Amino acid sequence: MTQTVAMTVNGRAVTVTVDDPQMPLLYALRNDVGAGGPHYGCGLGQCGACTIHLNGEAARSCQIPVAEAAGKTIVTLDGLGTPDRPHPVQAAFIAEQAVQCGYCANGMIMESAALLAKNPRPTEAQVNEALANNICRCGTHPRVVAAVLRAARG
């Protein structure tokens, strides 16, 4: 039984057709909407690679059934900012060179952008706490924290 789900992704109204409403939103974003930012890391809500903004809040798209996204407003990394108009966190990640393989960068940036939206001047400890459930295997942690603090300074 196929059904359609309408949502707004990066300012664009999109409708996806799915045959399983329980399919995680991540697969719809990557394969049907063509969003390049979120990636599959664990499918278990443990790593952060799939993080998006759902109605302004950081959310793990691997844990959200696509049907639940109906009518919601979604921003993905590729819609957060552009090379011409980067989000301050994106600009800071470039300035601090806070990326190695970058597979975690989607989650790091989306989680940090959501943090700064709520708490524009976080302490270093608050940044560490906010990112405590985002995994990076390459060891970019100090640069990520420096980038978030840099973005917060404006």
The reply on whether position 130 binds ligand FES by CB under 6 A is no
Q: How far is the CB of 38 from other proteins (least distance, A)?
A: 8
Q: Count CA within 13 A, CB hemisphere, residue 146.
A: 11
Q: Please give the residue ranges that form the binding site for other proteins (CB under 8 A).
A: 18-20, 23-24, 27, 30-31, 35-37, 39-44, 46-47, 49, 76-83, 86, 90, 93-94, 97, 99-106, 109, 125, 127-129, 131-145
According to the binding rule CB under 6 A, does residue 77 interact with ligand FES? no
CB of 1 to ligand FES, least distance (A): 26
Check binding of 41 to ligand FES (CB under 6 A): yes
| Interaxial angle between packed helices 141-153 and 105-118, expressed in degrees from 0 to 180 and rounded to the nearest 10 | 30
Query: What per-residue string of b and e applies to 122-144 under the rule 16 or more CB within 10 Å gives b?
Result: beeeebeebbeebbbeeebeebb
Q: In angstroms, rounded to a whole number, what is the distance separating the alpha carbons of residues 69 and 57?
A: 13
CA distance 9 to 29: 9
In the chain, the N- to C-terminal Cα span, in Å, equals 49
Closest separation between CB of residue 95 and ligand FES, Å?
Answer: 16
Asked whether position 100 contacts ligand FES by CB under 6 A, the answer is yes
Residues 106-125 that bind ligand FES (CB under 6 A): none
Task: Assess 40 for contact with ligand FES (CB under 6 A).
Answer: yes
